Structure 1
Amino acid sequence: MLDDFLTRAALAGLGLVLATGPLGSFVIWRRMAYFGDSTAHAAILGVALSFALSAPIYLGTLAVAVAMALVVAHLTGRGQSMDTVLGVLAHSALALGLVGASFVPSLRVGLDAFLFGDILAVSRTDIVWIWGGSALVLGLLIWRWQRLVTASVNEELAMAAGIDPARERLILSLALAVVVAIAIRIVGALLISAMLIVPAAAARGFSATPERMAGSATLIGAIAVLGGLWASLRLDTPAGPSIVAISALIYVATLGIWRK
Protein backbone atom coordinates (compact mmCIF):
# COMPACT_ATOMS: atom_id res chain seq x y z
CA MET A 1 0.00 0.00 0.00
CA LEU A 2 2.83 2.40 0.84
CA ASP A 3 4.19 1.97 -2.67
CA ASP A 4 1.31 4.09 -3.97
CA PHE A 5 2.41 7.74 -4.01
CA LEU A 6 -1.14 8.99 -3.35
CA THR A 7 -1.45 6.77 -0.29
CA ARG A 8 1.87 8.05 1.03
CA ALA A 9 0.77 11.63 0.38
CA ALA A 10 -2.53 11.08 2.20
CA LEU A 11 -0.78 9.48 5.18
CA ALA A 12 1.70 12.36 5.34
CA GLY A 13 -1.04 15.00 5.18
CA LEU A 14 -3.23 13.29 7.76
CA GLY A 15 -0.25 12.91 10.06
CA LEU A 16 0.47 16.62 9.76
CA VAL A 17 -3.07 17.79 10.59
CA LEU A 18 -2.97 15.86 13.86
CA ALA A 19 -0.58 18.58 15.03
CA THR A 20 -1.72 21.60 13.00
CA GLY A 21 -5.35 21.32 14.14
CA PRO A 22 -4.86 21.86 17.89
CA LEU A 23 -1.70 23.94 17.47
CA GLY A 24 -3.41 26.21 14.95
CA SER A 25 -6.13 26.86 17.51
CA PHE A 26 -3.53 28.20 19.92
CA VAL A 27 -1.97 30.24 17.12
CA ILE A 28 -5.33 31.99 16.63
CA TRP A 29 -6.07 32.40 20.32
CA ARG A 30 -2.66 33.91 21.03
CA ARG A 31 -2.42 35.84 17.73
CA MET A 32 0.82 34.09 16.79
CA ALA A 33 0.12 33.90 13.05
CA TYR A 34 3.07 36.12 12.20
CA PHE A 35 5.34 33.99 14.37
CA GLY A 36 4.37 30.84 12.46
CA ASP A 37 4.92 32.58 9.14
CA SER A 38 8.29 33.92 10.24
CA THR A 39 9.44 30.53 11.52
CA ALA A 40 8.45 28.93 8.23
CA HIS A 41 10.45 31.48 6.25
CA ALA A 42 13.47 30.99 8.49
CA ALA A 43 13.28 27.23 7.88
CA ILE A 44 14.64 27.78 4.37
CA LEU A 45 17.99 28.54 6.02
CA GLY A 46 17.72 25.15 7.72
CA VAL A 47 17.11 23.50 4.34
CA ALA A 48 20.20 25.15 2.87
CA LEU A 49 22.33 24.12 5.87
CA SER A 50 21.03 20.55 5.66
CA PHE A 51 22.05 20.24 2.01
CA ALA A 52 25.40 21.91 2.61
CA LEU A 53 26.22 19.57 5.53
CA SER A 54 24.57 16.46 4.00
CA ALA A 55 22.29 16.26 7.05
CA PRO A 56 18.62 15.18 7.20
CA ILE A 57 16.29 17.99 6.09
CA TYR A 58 14.09 17.64 9.14
CA LEU A 59 16.99 18.06 11.55
CA GLY A 60 18.32 21.15 9.78
CA THR A 61 14.96 22.89 9.61
CA LEU A 62 14.14 21.91 13.18
CA ALA A 63 17.46 23.28 14.46
CA VAL A 64 16.95 26.65 12.76
CA ALA A 65 13.28 26.88 13.78
CA VAL A 66 14.08 26.06 17.42
CA ALA A 67 16.99 28.53 17.42
CA MET A 68 14.67 31.23 16.11
CA ALA A 69 12.06 30.48 18.78
CA LEU A 70 14.69 30.76 21.52
CA VAL A 71 16.17 33.98 20.12
CA VAL A 72 12.71 35.56 19.81
CA ALA A 73 11.86 34.56 23.38
CA HIS A 74 15.15 36.03 24.62
CA LEU A 75 14.87 39.33 22.75
CA THR A 76 11.20 39.92 23.55
CA GLY A 77 11.96 39.13 27.18
CA ARG A 78 14.42 42.02 27.10
CA GLY A 79 11.77 44.46 25.95
CA GLN A 80 12.16 44.26 22.18
CA SER A 81 8.98 44.47 20.08
CA MET A 82 7.96 40.99 18.93
CA ASP A 83 6.81 42.22 15.49
CA THR A 84 10.14 43.93 14.92
CA VAL A 85 12.18 40.95 16.12
CA LEU A 86 10.17 38.52 13.99
CA GLY A 87 10.44 40.74 10.92
CA VAL A 88 14.21 41.11 11.23
CA LEU A 89 14.92 37.45 11.97
CA ALA A 90 12.47 36.01 9.42
CA HIS A 91 13.62 38.08 6.47
CA SER A 92 17.28 37.79 7.41
CA ALA A 93 17.07 34.00 7.75
CA LEU A 94 15.11 33.69 4.50
CA ALA A 95 17.63 35.83 2.66
CA LEU A 96 20.57 33.87 4.09
CA GLY A 97 18.82 30.63 3.16
CA LEU A 98 18.27 31.72 -0.44
CA VAL A 99 21.85 32.95 -0.70
CA GLY A 100 23.10 29.70 0.79
CA ALA A 101 20.95 27.69 -1.61
CA SER A 102 22.66 29.42 -4.54
CA PHE A 103 25.91 27.72 -3.50
CA VAL A 104 24.32 24.25 -3.42
CA PRO A 105 23.61 23.15 -7.01
CA SER A 106 21.38 20.23 -6.00
CA LEU A 107 19.20 22.52 -3.88
CA ARG A 108 19.10 25.35 -6.42
CA VAL A 109 17.15 23.11 -8.79
CA GLY A 110 14.66 21.78 -6.22
CA LEU A 111 14.15 24.82 -4.02
CA ASP A 112 10.55 25.25 -5.22
CA ALA A 113 9.65 21.99 -3.48
CA PHE A 114 10.56 23.54 -0.13
CA LEU A 115 8.88 26.86 -0.87
CA PHE A 116 5.57 25.41 -2.11
CA GLY A 117 5.73 21.81 -0.91
CA ASP A 118 5.86 18.48 -2.71
CA ILE A 119 3.58 16.13 -0.80
CA LEU A 120 3.38 13.73 -3.72
CA ALA A 121 7.10 13.01 -3.39
CA VAL A 122 7.13 12.01 0.29
CA SER A 123 8.84 8.73 1.12
CA ARG A 124 8.21 6.15 3.82
CA THR A 125 10.96 7.76 5.88
CA ASP A 126 9.22 11.13 5.53
CA ILE A 127 6.00 9.58 6.85
CA VAL A 128 7.83 8.27 9.91
CA TRP A 129 9.28 11.74 10.60
CA ILE A 130 5.92 13.42 10.08
CA TRP A 131 3.91 11.08 12.30
CA GLY A 132 6.65 11.05 14.93
CA GLY A 133 6.85 14.84 15.01
CA SER A 134 3.08 15.22 15.09
CA ALA A 135 2.79 12.68 17.91
CA LEU A 136 5.44 14.62 19.86
CA VAL A 137 3.60 17.93 19.40
CA LEU A 138 0.19 16.41 20.16
CA GLY A 139 1.53 14.73 23.30
CA LEU A 140 3.08 18.02 24.45
CA LEU A 141 -0.18 19.91 23.89
CA ILE A 142 -2.24 17.29 25.73
CA TRP A 143 0.22 17.33 28.64
CA ARG A 144 0.17 21.13 28.96
CA TRP A 145 -3.38 21.65 27.70
CA GLN A 146 -4.99 23.33 30.71
CA ARG A 147 -1.99 25.54 31.39
CA LEU A 148 -1.75 26.56 27.74
CA VAL A 149 -5.46 27.35 27.50
CA THR A 150 -5.42 29.39 30.72
CA ALA A 151 -2.36 31.36 29.63
CA SER A 152 -3.95 31.97 26.22
CA VAL A 153 -7.27 33.19 27.61
CA ASN A 154 -5.96 35.46 30.36
CA GLU A 155 -2.30 35.90 31.31
CA GLU A 156 -3.16 37.62 34.63
CA LEU A 157 -5.41 34.75 35.59
CA ALA A 158 -2.65 32.34 34.63
CA MET A 159 -0.14 34.14 36.84
CA ALA A 160 -2.61 34.11 39.74
CA ALA A 161 -2.87 30.33 39.28
CA GLY A 162 0.91 29.97 39.40
CA ILE A 163 1.34 29.56 35.63
CA ASP A 164 4.19 31.35 33.87
CA PRO A 165 2.73 32.75 30.60
CA ALA A 166 6.21 33.25 29.15
CA ARG A 167 7.03 29.57 29.65
CA GLU A 168 3.79 28.47 28.00
CA ARG A 169 4.49 30.84 25.10
CA LEU A 170 7.93 29.30 24.68
CA ILE A 171 6.43 25.80 24.69
CA LEU A 172 4.06 26.81 21.90
CA SER A 173 6.94 28.38 19.99
CA LEU A 174 8.95 25.15 20.21
CA ALA A 175 5.91 23.12 19.13
CA LEU A 176 5.54 25.45 16.14
CA ALA A 177 9.19 24.86 15.29
CA VAL A 178 8.61 21.09 15.19
CA VAL A 179 5.51 21.49 12.99
CA VAL A 180 7.36 23.78 10.58
CA ALA A 181 10.17 21.23 10.32
CA ILE A 182 7.84 18.36 9.43
CA ALA A 183 5.49 20.41 7.24
CA ILE A 184 8.04 22.01 4.93
CA ARG A 185 8.15 18.96 2.63
CA ILE A 186 4.34 18.80 2.44
CA VAL A 187 3.02 22.33 1.89
CA GLY A 188 6.26 24.32 1.78
CA ALA A 189 7.55 27.29 3.73
CA LEU A 190 5.15 29.73 2.08
CA LEU A 191 1.99 27.76 2.93
CA ILE A 192 2.69 26.32 6.38
CA SER A 193 0.95 29.19 8.18
CA ALA A 194 -2.15 28.66 6.08
CA MET A 195 -2.43 25.04 7.23
CA LEU A 196 -2.15 26.23 10.83
CA ILE A 197 -4.54 29.16 10.61
CA VAL A 198 -7.26 28.45 8.03
CA PRO A 199 -8.71 25.16 9.42
CA ALA A 200 -8.65 26.57 12.95
CA ALA A 201 -10.33 29.78 11.77
CA ALA A 202 -13.01 27.73 10.03
CA ALA A 203 -13.62 25.71 13.20
CA ARG A 204 -13.80 28.73 15.48
CA GLY A 205 -17.31 29.84 14.55
CA PHE A 206 -19.07 26.64 15.60
CA SER A 207 -16.85 25.51 18.49
CA ALA A 208 -18.16 26.16 21.97
CA THR A 209 -15.08 24.86 23.80
CA PRO A 210 -11.32 24.87 23.14
CA GLU A 211 -11.32 21.09 22.86
CA ARG A 212 -14.08 21.13 20.26
CA MET A 213 -12.28 23.79 18.25
CA ALA A 214 -9.05 21.77 18.25
CA GLY A 215 -10.89 18.62 17.17
CA SER A 216 -12.91 20.42 14.50
CA ALA A 217 -9.78 22.10 13.12
CA THR A 218 -8.13 18.69 12.84
CA LEU A 219 -11.15 17.26 11.01
CA ILE A 220 -11.29 20.23 8.63
CA GLY A 221 -7.57 19.88 7.97
CA ALA A 222 -8.03 16.18 7.16
CA ILE A 223 -10.87 16.98 4.74
CA ALA A 224 -8.69 19.65 3.12
CA VAL A 225 -5.81 17.20 2.68
CA LEU A 226 -7.94 14.52 1.05
CA GLY A 227 -9.92 17.05 -1.01
CA GLY A 228 -6.75 18.84 -2.11
CA LEU A 229 -5.13 15.60 -3.22
CA TRP A 230 -8.27 14.66 -5.15
CA ALA A 231 -8.36 18.09 -6.82
CA SER A 232 -4.67 17.88 -7.64
CA LEU A 233 -5.18 14.49 -9.28
CA ARG A 234 -8.28 15.52 -11.26
CA LEU A 235 -7.23 19.06 -12.24
CA ASP A 236 -3.45 18.54 -12.48
CA THR A 237 -2.78 21.35 -9.97
CA PRO A 238 0.01 21.59 -7.36
CA ALA A 239 -0.92 19.43 -4.38
CA GLY A 240 0.21 21.71 -1.54
CA PRO A 241 -1.58 24.83 -2.78
CA SER A 242 -4.62 22.71 -3.65
CA ILE A 243 -4.85 21.53 -0.02
CA VAL A 244 -4.69 25.10 1.24
CA ALA A 245 -7.27 26.19 -1.36
CA ILE A 246 -9.73 23.52 -0.19
CA SER A 247 -9.29 24.60 3.43
CA ALA A 248 -9.93 28.21 2.34
CA LEU A 249 -13.14 27.13 0.58
CA ILE A 250 -14.25 25.38 3.76
CA TYR A 251 -13.57 28.57 5.71
CA VAL A 252 -15.67 30.61 3.27
CA ALA A 253 -18.45 28.01 3.51
CA THR A 254 -18.49 28.25 7.31
CA LEU A 255 -18.80 32.03 7.04
CA GLY A 256 -21.85 31.60 4.83
CA ILE A 257 -23.43 29.13 7.25
CA TRP A 258 -23.03 31.40 10.21
CA ARG A 259 -24.31 34.47 8.39
CA LYS A 260 -27.58 32.64 7.95
Structure 2
Amino acid sequence: MYEDLSNEELFGISDYSDTDDKVEELSNNLSSSNEMSEPQSSDYEVSSSSPLTENEPTIISPKPKLITLPSIIGLILYENLLTHEQQSELINGIIEANYFDNPETNQAMCFGTLPSFIHRVIEIISNTPGFFPDEIQHRDPLFDQARSIINLYRPGEGIAGHVDLPRFEDGIVVISLLSSCVMRFRPSSEVDIDNSFYENKFKDVHDAYEMIPVTLRPGSVLALNGPARYNWTHEIEETEIDEIGDKKIIRSLRISVTLRKMKKDQLLSNKDDSNPFSFEIKKR
Protein backbone atom coordinates (compact mmCIF):
# COMPACT_ATOMS: atom_id res chain seq x y z
CA MET A 1 0.00 0.00 0.00
CA TYR A 2 0.99 3.64 -0.26
CA GLU A 3 2.75 4.50 3.00
CA ASP A 4 4.88 7.41 4.21
CA LEU A 5 4.53 9.33 0.98
CA SER A 6 5.90 12.86 0.92
CA ASN A 7 3.76 15.80 -0.15
CA GLU A 8 5.73 15.92 -3.39
CA GLU A 9 4.88 12.28 -4.07
CA LEU A 10 1.21 12.76 -3.26
CA PHE A 11 0.43 16.01 -5.02
CA GLY A 12 0.10 16.30 -8.76
CA ILE A 13 0.08 19.26 -11.08
CA SER A 14 -2.99 21.37 -10.26
CA ASP A 15 -2.31 24.18 -12.72
CA TYR A 16 -0.99 23.60 -16.22
CA SER A 17 -1.51 27.22 -17.28
CA ASP A 18 2.20 27.92 -16.97
CA THR A 19 3.12 25.17 -19.42
CA ASP A 20 0.36 25.04 -22.01
CA ASP A 21 -2.00 27.77 -23.20
CA LYS A 22 -4.38 25.12 -24.53
CA VAL A 23 -5.03 23.83 -21.02
CA GLU A 24 -5.74 27.36 -19.87
CA GLU A 25 -8.25 27.57 -22.73
CA LEU A 26 -9.94 24.41 -21.48
CA SER A 27 -10.08 25.80 -17.97
CA ASN A 28 -11.56 29.11 -19.14
CA ASN A 29 -14.24 27.36 -21.20
CA LEU A 30 -15.54 25.44 -18.20
CA SER A 31 -17.79 27.76 -16.28
CA SER A 32 -17.52 25.98 -12.96
CA SER A 33 -13.74 25.56 -13.05
CA ASN A 34 -12.34 28.59 -14.82
CA GLU A 35 -9.89 29.40 -12.05
CA MET A 36 -7.50 26.58 -11.31
CA SER A 37 -5.79 26.47 -7.92
CA GLU A 38 -2.11 27.10 -7.41
CA PRO A 39 0.00 23.95 -7.56
CA GLN A 40 0.79 22.43 -4.18
CA SER A 41 3.89 20.78 -5.60
CA SER A 42 5.20 19.66 -8.96
CA ASP A 43 5.52 16.31 -10.67
CA TYR A 44 8.12 17.88 -12.92
CA GLU A 45 11.67 19.09 -12.48
CA VAL A 46 13.38 22.15 -13.94
CA SER A 47 16.74 21.38 -15.48
CA SER A 48 19.48 23.38 -13.77
CA SER A 49 21.82 22.80 -16.71
CA SER A 50 19.56 24.41 -19.27
CA PRO A 51 19.51 28.16 -19.94
CA LEU A 52 16.29 29.39 -18.36
CA THR A 53 14.36 32.58 -18.51
CA GLU A 54 11.50 33.48 -16.24
CA ASN A 55 8.99 33.00 -19.07
CA GLU A 56 10.52 29.94 -20.74
CA PRO A 57 11.20 27.15 -18.26
CA THR A 58 12.60 23.85 -19.45
CA ILE A 59 10.44 20.98 -18.21
CA ILE A 60 12.04 17.59 -17.65
CA SER A 61 9.66 14.73 -16.88
CA PRO A 62 10.69 12.24 -14.19
CA LYS A 63 11.39 8.64 -15.07
CA PRO A 64 8.46 6.19 -15.18
CA LYS A 65 7.94 4.18 -12.01
CA LEU A 66 6.24 0.77 -11.94
CA ILE A 67 4.09 0.10 -8.85
CA THR A 68 2.24 -3.08 -7.87
CA LEU A 69 0.12 -3.85 -4.82
CA PRO A 70 0.40 -7.39 -3.36
CA SER A 71 -3.15 -7.11 -2.02
CA ILE A 72 -4.66 -6.47 -5.47
CA ILE A 73 -3.44 -9.06 -7.95
CA GLY A 74 -3.48 -7.67 -11.49
CA LEU A 75 -3.22 -3.99 -10.60
CA ILE A 76 -0.32 -2.21 -12.29
CA LEU A 77 0.37 1.49 -11.93
CA TYR A 78 2.94 3.20 -14.11
CA GLU A 79 3.59 6.64 -12.67
CA ASN A 80 4.98 9.31 -15.02
CA LEU A 81 4.59 7.04 -18.04
CA LEU A 82 3.51 9.97 -20.20
CA THR A 83 5.98 12.82 -20.51
CA HIS A 84 4.91 16.41 -20.13
CA GLU A 85 4.85 16.80 -23.92
CA GLN A 86 2.78 13.63 -24.38
CA GLN A 87 0.29 14.74 -21.75
CA SER A 88 -0.02 18.15 -23.39
CA GLU A 89 -0.59 16.56 -26.80
CA LEU A 90 -3.35 14.37 -25.41
CA ILE A 91 -5.02 17.28 -23.60
CA ASN A 92 -4.78 19.48 -26.70
CA GLY A 93 -6.45 16.76 -28.78
CA ILE A 94 -9.31 16.54 -26.30
CA ILE A 95 -9.74 20.32 -26.33
CA GLU A 96 -9.73 20.51 -30.12
CA ALA A 97 -12.35 17.73 -30.31
CA ASN A 98 -14.77 20.05 -28.44
CA TYR A 99 -16.01 17.28 -26.18
CA PHE A 100 -16.69 19.57 -23.26
CA ASP A 101 -17.84 22.81 -24.84
CA ASN A 102 -21.13 22.40 -22.99
CA PRO A 103 -20.49 23.02 -19.27
CA GLU A 104 -23.31 20.59 -18.43
CA THR A 105 -21.42 17.59 -19.80
CA ASN A 106 -18.51 15.70 -18.28
CA GLN A 107 -18.22 12.46 -20.26
CA ALA A 108 -17.49 11.60 -23.89
CA MET A 109 -17.99 8.05 -25.21
CA CYS A 110 -16.06 7.47 -28.41
CA PHE A 111 -17.04 5.21 -31.31
CA GLY A 112 -15.59 4.41 -34.71
CA THR A 113 -11.92 4.85 -35.57
CA LEU A 114 -10.21 6.41 -32.59
CA PRO A 115 -8.58 9.83 -33.09
CA SER A 116 -4.84 10.03 -33.62
CA PHE A 117 -4.09 11.54 -30.23
CA ILE A 118 -5.49 8.42 -28.54
CA HIS A 119 -3.73 6.06 -30.95
CA ARG A 120 -0.39 7.58 -29.98
CA VAL A 121 -1.03 6.86 -26.32
CA ILE A 122 -2.07 3.27 -27.12
CA GLU A 123 1.23 2.84 -28.96
CA ILE A 124 3.12 3.94 -25.86
CA ILE A 125 1.18 1.49 -23.69
CA SER A 126 1.65 -1.36 -26.20
CA ASN A 127 5.40 -0.85 -26.16
CA THR A 128 5.70 -0.62 -22.39
CA PRO A 129 6.41 -4.03 -20.80
CA GLY A 130 4.77 -5.16 -17.60
CA PHE A 131 1.25 -3.85 -18.01
CA PHE A 132 -0.53 -7.11 -18.85
CA PRO A 133 0.08 -10.83 -19.32
CA ASP A 134 1.33 -11.64 -22.82
CA GLU A 135 -2.06 -12.81 -24.09
CA ILE A 136 -3.45 -9.33 -23.42
CA GLN A 137 -0.34 -7.23 -24.06
CA HIS A 138 0.14 -8.71 -27.55
CA ARG A 139 -3.47 -8.88 -28.72
CA ASP A 140 -4.28 -6.92 -31.86
CA PRO A 141 -5.72 -4.42 -31.36
CA LEU A 142 -4.89 -3.92 -27.69
CA PHE A 143 -7.92 -1.64 -27.34
CA ASP A 144 -10.63 -0.76 -29.82
CA GLN A 145 -13.13 1.93 -30.65
CA ALA A 146 -15.98 0.52 -28.59
CA ARG A 147 -16.68 2.70 -25.61
CA SER A 148 -13.43 4.46 -25.03
CA ILE A 149 -14.41 7.01 -22.41
CA ILE A 150 -13.04 10.47 -21.65
CA ASN A 151 -14.18 11.83 -18.28
CA LEU A 152 -13.91 15.38 -17.03
CA TYR A 153 -13.83 15.72 -13.24
CA ARG A 154 -14.37 19.12 -11.69
CA PRO A 155 -13.22 19.56 -8.08
CA GLY A 156 -15.56 17.58 -5.83
CA GLU A 157 -16.84 15.24 -8.55
CA GLY A 158 -16.33 11.46 -8.40
CA ILE A 159 -17.70 8.16 -9.62
CA ALA A 160 -19.52 5.44 -7.69
CA GLY A 161 -17.88 2.10 -6.94
CA HIS A 162 -18.22 -0.35 -9.82
CA VAL A 163 -16.69 -3.23 -11.75
CA ASP A 164 -16.43 -2.59 -15.49
CA LEU A 165 -19.10 -4.46 -17.44
CA PRO A 166 -18.40 -8.07 -18.50
CA ARG A 167 -19.07 -7.17 -22.14
CA PHE A 168 -15.50 -5.84 -22.18
CA GLU A 169 -12.51 -8.14 -22.39
CA ASP A 170 -9.91 -8.41 -19.68
CA GLY A 171 -7.31 -5.64 -19.63
CA ILE A 172 -8.39 -2.04 -18.99
CA VAL A 173 -6.34 1.12 -18.56
CA VAL A 174 -7.08 4.51 -17.04
CA ILE A 175 -4.91 7.49 -18.03
CA SER A 176 -4.84 10.44 -15.61
CA LEU A 177 -4.27 14.05 -16.65
CA LEU A 178 -4.09 17.53 -15.08
CA SER A 179 -4.74 16.79 -11.41
CA SER A 180 -4.17 14.07 -8.83
CA CYS A 181 -6.87 12.12 -7.02
CA VAL A 182 -7.27 8.92 -5.02
CA MET A 183 -9.03 5.90 -6.52
CA ARG A 184 -10.41 3.56 -3.88
CA PHE A 185 -10.54 -0.21 -4.32
CA ARG A 186 -12.72 -2.67 -2.40
CA PRO A 187 -13.30 -6.40 -2.91
CA SER A 188 -16.53 -6.85 -4.82
CA SER A 189 -19.48 -8.02 -2.71
CA GLU A 190 -20.31 -10.44 -5.53
CA VAL A 191 -17.06 -12.34 -4.98
CA ASP A 192 -17.04 -15.25 -2.54
CA ILE A 193 -14.08 -14.22 -0.43
CA ASP A 194 -14.54 -17.01 2.13
CA ASN A 195 -12.95 -19.78 0.10
CA SER A 196 -9.24 -20.53 0.36
CA PHE A 197 -8.42 -19.13 -3.06
CA TYR A 198 -9.54 -15.65 -2.15
CA GLU A 199 -8.23 -15.92 1.39
CA ASN A 200 -4.78 -16.26 -0.17
CA LYS A 201 -5.38 -13.34 -2.46
CA PHE A 202 -6.42 -11.14 0.44
CA LYS A 203 -3.82 -12.33 2.94
CA ASP A 204 -2.35 -8.82 3.24
CA VAL A 205 -5.75 -7.23 3.90
CA HIS A 206 -6.75 -7.30 7.59
CA ASP A 207 -10.40 -6.64 6.76
CA ALA A 208 -11.51 -8.28 3.50
CA TYR A 209 -13.70 -5.24 2.80
CA GLU A 210 -11.07 -2.69 3.71
CA MET A 211 -10.70 0.18 1.28
CA ILE A 212 -7.32 0.33 -0.45
CA PRO A 213 -6.36 3.78 -1.81
CA VAL A 214 -4.33 4.23 -4.98
CA THR A 215 -3.05 7.70 -5.84
CA LEU A 216 -3.42 8.65 -9.51
CA ARG A 217 -1.21 11.53 -10.60
CA PRO A 218 -0.88 13.38 -13.92
CA GLY A 219 0.83 11.24 -16.54
CA SER A 220 0.13 7.98 -14.73
CA VAL A 221 -1.45 4.94 -16.40
CA LEU A 222 -3.39 2.42 -14.30
CA ALA A 223 -3.88 -1.11 -15.71
CA LEU A 224 -6.37 -3.67 -14.40
CA ASN A 225 -6.48 -7.35 -15.34
CA GLY A 226 -7.53 -10.62 -13.73
CA PRO A 227 -8.69 -10.24 -10.10
CA ALA A 228 -8.10 -6.46 -10.13
CA ARG A 229 -10.40 -6.13 -13.12
CA TYR A 230 -13.18 -8.56 -12.10
CA ASN A 231 -13.08 -8.98 -8.30
CA TRP A 232 -12.49 -5.46 -7.06
CA THR A 233 -14.65 -2.37 -7.35
CA HIS A 234 -13.02 1.00 -7.96
CA GLU A 235 -14.41 4.42 -7.17
CA ILE A 236 -13.49 8.08 -6.77
CA GLU A 237 -15.02 9.81 -3.78
CA GLU A 238 -16.99 13.02 -4.26
CA THR A 239 -14.70 15.37 -2.39
CA GLU A 240 -12.43 18.33 -3.09
CA ILE A 241 -9.68 17.00 -0.81
CA ASP A 242 -8.43 13.41 -0.68
CA GLU A 243 -6.84 12.34 2.59
CA ILE A 244 -4.41 9.46 3.11
CA GLY A 245 -3.35 9.34 6.75
CA ASP A 246 -2.09 12.84 7.53
CA LYS A 247 -1.50 13.64 3.85
CA LYS A 248 -3.90 15.62 1.69
CA ILE A 249 -4.42 16.00 -2.04
CA ILE A 250 -6.25 19.15 -3.12
CA ARG A 251 -8.03 18.38 -6.36
CA SER A 252 -8.36 20.66 -9.34
CA LEU A 253 -9.71 20.00 -12.83
CA ARG A 254 -8.90 16.42 -13.88
CA ILE A 255 -9.32 14.41 -17.08
CA SER A 256 -9.18 10.63 -17.37
CA VAL A 257 -9.14 8.46 -20.49
CA THR A 258 -10.35 4.86 -20.13
CA LEU A 259 -9.41 2.35 -22.85
CA ARG A 260 -11.02 -1.07 -23.24
CA LYS A 261 -11.70 -3.76 -25.83
CA MET A 262 -15.22 -4.97 -26.51
CA LYS A 263 -15.84 -8.71 -26.76
CA LYS A 264 -16.56 -9.76 -30.33
CA ASP A 265 -20.07 -10.97 -29.57
CA GLN A 266 -20.88 -7.67 -27.84
CA LEU A 267 -19.80 -5.21 -30.51
CA LEU A 268 -22.32 -2.42 -30.85
CA SER A 269 -24.35 -3.09 -33.97
CA ASN A 270 -26.20 0.22 -33.85
CA LYS A 271 -23.07 2.22 -34.64
CA ASP A 272 -22.24 3.02 -38.24
CA ASP A 273 -18.84 1.46 -38.92
CA SER A 274 -18.47 3.66 -41.99
CA ASN A 275 -18.29 6.70 -39.74
CA PRO A 276 -14.58 7.30 -39.14
CA PHE A 277 -15.25 8.74 -35.70
CA SER A 278 -18.18 9.78 -33.56
CA PHE A 279 -18.84 10.39 -29.92
CA GLU A 280 -21.66 10.81 -27.44
CA ILE A 281 -21.57 13.50 -24.76
CA LYS A 282 -23.47 13.09 -21.53
CA LYS A 283 -23.50 13.58 -17.81
CA ARG A 284 -22.03 10.73 -15.78
Same fold judged by TM-score > 0.5?
A: no
| Interval containing the TM-score (normalised by the shorter chain) | under 0.3
More strand per residue: 2
More helix per residue: 1
Structure of higher CA gyration radius: 2
Question: TM-score under structure 2 normalisation?
Answer: 0.26
